[in-house]
Amino acid sequence: MMNRYEQELSRLQAKGNLRTLPEVEHSGKWIIAGGKKLLNLSSNDYLGLAADKDLRRRFMEQLDEADFLFSSSSSRLLTGNYPVCERLESLLARLFQTESALTFSSGYHLNTGILPAVSDNHTLILADKLVHASLIDGIRLASAEYIRYRHQDYGQLEALVSKHHAAYERIIIVTESIFSMDGDVTDLRRLVAVKKTYPNVMLYVDEAHAVGVRGDKGLGVAEEQNCVSDIDFLCGTFGKAMASVGAYVVCRKELREFLVNRMRTFIFTTALPPVNVAWTCFMFERLPLWKERRMHLARMGQRLRNALAEQGIPCVSGSHIVPLVVGDSADAILKAEALRRKGFYVLPVRPPTVPEGTSRLRFSLRADIDESELNELITCLR
């Protein structure tokens, strides 16, 4: 007789949704899997900087001995508030031209921490249907009421705000700027317009997949759409294009102070290691300079999307994340294996990461791919 866990595992296996941890080795943009060198199209190293040896060498040359620590050994409110944390937060506030910034151990800490802290049972959260699992968990932990509106359906959102604003002390609209699984871009200005219709509406935007790659200085879609100062909680992560670890929010001063006092995933966890924080500072100082990488990435995204369109494959993406929705999980696995045989490492993305029936190959482009590699991929897809 199978126990509950075994039953669940065999159910996942039957549906093609059983996950195992892939055994891989890395070499820059390449993955070595099963003895074969494959182009890595499944990482979030969008600027192709995570394995840049020259960058690391230059970082080590300028690293202050005081920051060369692999543990902060304490939470920020006790003895973990190293000067480098404040230095990073001042740098972020200066780059985004906002009053303040606060950093966290990960995007997961960020998204599961802010919403429960800033909402109560007089709050209504209106979240896009496709927001990341970490935001959903944050919403679940919050004592607020919540409604998930249809993906990027701004009309429905407007109607919900207008219907409910009077019944709540505050409404918080929650979205991503580039959606992680579809690569489509949110019209943040439209959301800002909705927010501005009533004084008790706030806006929370997760730029995890956009920071580093969008905007003239690489600050994200809010920079690109010129609405940084209209977003109450402008968030992002360091573990993707920024080639580091952790996350941030840029916000008004009083909100930062409130989070320091009330956000459980900030208070009750060990602060990031100072050496990682110093690396994140180093990366953000250079971010405006990587404009050519951003432009190259954008051009490649456009080319891959055009190639899919030419094959009559619908694709909503407007970014460097380009999904090829297959539908069935087993089929997605087969297609990923076929691409692997051709030298491309792209993982099938299956439920629960994406809704049932929308299993896909998610091409996650990176700025260190060259034209010929992209051409080869496009030829294979054809």
Binding site for ligand PMP (CB under 6 A): 106-108, 111, 132, 134, 176, 180, 206, 208, 237, 239, 247
Instruction: Please list, residue by residue across 94-122, b when 16 or more beta carbons sit within 10 angstroms of its beta carbon and e when fewer do.
Output: ebbebebbbbbbbbbbbbbbbbbbbbeee
Contact 318, 297 (CB under 8 A): no
Q: Least distance to ligand PMP from the beta carbon of 135, Å?
A: 7
| DSSP 8-state secondary structure symbol assigned to residue 168 | S
CB closer to ligand PMP out of 103 and 123: 103
CB closer to ligand PMP out of 103 and 180: 180
CB closer to ligand PMP out of 111 and 319: 111
CB closer to ligand PMP out of 239 and 323: 239
- Where do we find the tokens 């970082």? 59
> Could you give the C-alpha distances from 260 to 43, 118, 238, in angstroms and in order?
32, 11, 20
Q: Least distance to ligand PMP from the beta carbon of 232, Å?
A: 17
CB closer to ligand PMP out of 176 and 232: 176
Q: Least distance to ligand PMP from the beta carbon of 321, Å?
A: 10
> Could you give the C-alpha distances from 40 to 26, 32, 76, 289, in angstroms and in order?
9, 9, 36, 24
Q: Least distance to ligand PMP from the beta carbon of 42, Å?
A: 12
CB closer to ligand PMP out of 281 and 307: 281
CB closer to ligand PMP out of 98 and 276: 276
User: Vertex 136, ends 110 and 165: CA angle to 5°?
Assistant: 95
Amino acid in the structure at residue 359: S
Q: Least distance to ligand PMP from the beta carbon of 242, Å?
A: 10
CB closer to ligand PMP out of 186 and 359: 186
Q: Least distance to ligand PMP from the beta carbon of 306, Å?
A: 25
- Helix residue spans in 243-342 (DSSP H): 253-262, 264-267, 274-286, 291-310, 329-341
How far is 274 from 170, CA to CA, in rounded Å?
36
Q: Least distance to ligand PMP from the beta carbon of 168, Å?
A: 25
Amino acid in the structure at residue 159: A
Q: Least distance to ligand PMP from the beta carbon of 370, Å?
A: 26
- Omega prior to 352 cis, within 30 of 0: yes
In the sheet that 170-176 helps form, which strands lie side by side, from edge to edge?
100-104, 247-251, 233-237, 201-206, 170-176, 123-128, 145-149
Closest residue to bound ligand PMP by CB: 107
User: Vertex 33, ends 29 and 39: CA angle to 5°?
Assistant: 30
